[in-house]
Amino acid sequence: MALSLSALTSPSITLYLPKKGPNLYPPKLNKMSPIQCSLSVSTHSKTPQFDLKTYWTDLILEINQKLDQAVPIQYPDKIYEAMRYSVLAKGAKRAPPVMCVAACELFGGDRHAAFPTACALEMVHSASLIHDDLPCMDDDPSRRGQPSNHKIYGVDMAILAGDALFPLGFHHIVSHTPSDLVPEPRLLSVIAEIARAVGSTGMAAGQFLDLEGGPNSVEFVQEKKFGEMGECSAVCGGLLAGAKDDEIQRLRRYGRAVGVLYQVVDDILEAKTMKSKVDEDKKKKKGKSYVAFYGVEKAIEVAEELRAKAKKELDGFEKYGDSVLPLYSFVDYAADRGFSFGESS
């Protein structure tokens, strides 16, 4: 069942947000939220209507086909089977590659120029999930509606599968991006951006502090573990299309806000459905989240602020007309989950 962010609040809750934030609930989209809460907001930004589900679903089909071709079974078979198990997981939403393609198309780029990088982002994303699920990390037994990689192939093979997917992604960008569509300097910038996002100052830093940091590290952990992938995906799309430096910075802030927003809403939805002692024990193992440390109401406030921040960044792209609509719609999807793709998350 799809739930909107507004449906998670009780009728008595009023969220007080920054007065300059964008309009989170314009009249056109009120029908998306089955239950409305009271929002005390003075805003100016709009959320245009756009058929995001069709756009996203069509891209998923293309990306899945290209991923299947990019990770074929070859010797040694077992490593490739483990890699494919996670990369081609049924029901995966492909959010990083879709955001990359949308950002590329925003600036007039050809989606065929973005597909190799989009696939690489999914490989990197899958590798990070494989490693995050390991017993020595988040110790998660399931992922995307199926057993985690290490539950099927063992911890040793899961580590190797993740290790192999990271460089495969870089190789795929270099070997498959059409040189007539993307100049070499842009490719180098894309590779550097992905390396930064997954490295010791990016996602790895977030995982470290999730394991070792104190409660004051919650914001940093959320931004690094979850915001980095969104930021990297949006930025890579812009780099491929030749976006200007100031536009790249807008994409950076936008992608980071959407990445964290998506995870915060995930945590809120999970907290709302937890009932048993087993659920509570699982919650304690979820690491450093706004819900775990500050409660659901504070997490809802954070989510609305992130939604406003993401849309404010997109206001700077109005000159590109309807090309910005997919990125606007991603924000509302991250907050409201207005439709479903299938079996897994």
Q: What are the helix (H) ranges across 71-154?
A: 77-87, 95-106, 111-132, 149-153
Asked if residue 255 lies in contact with residue 234, where contact means CB atoms within 8 angstroms, the answer is: yes
**What digits encode the pLDDT tens for the residues 258-291?**
999 999 999 999 888 875 444 555 555 556 788 9
What pLDDT shows up at residue 288? 76
**What digits encode the pLDDT tens for the residues 203-245?**
999 999 888 877 678 889 999 999 999 999 999 999 999 999 9
Q: In which element (H, E) is residue 16 found? A: strand 14-16
**What digits encode the pLDDT tens for the residues 36-58?**
332 222 233 455 689 999 999 99
Q: Which amino acid is at 278?
A: V
Asked if residue 308 lies in contact with residue 24, where contact means CB atoms within 8 angstroms, the answer is: yes
Torsion sign, CA atoms 173, 176, 179, 180? negative
**Distance in angstroms (rounded) separating the CA atoms of residues 197 and 189:** 12
**Distance in angstroms (rounded) separating the CA atoms of residues 52 and 244:** 26
What pTM value is reported for the model?
A: 0.84
Radius of gyration of the chain (CA): 19
Extract the residue ranges of the chain whose pLDDT is less than 70: 1-48, 215, 275-287, 342-345
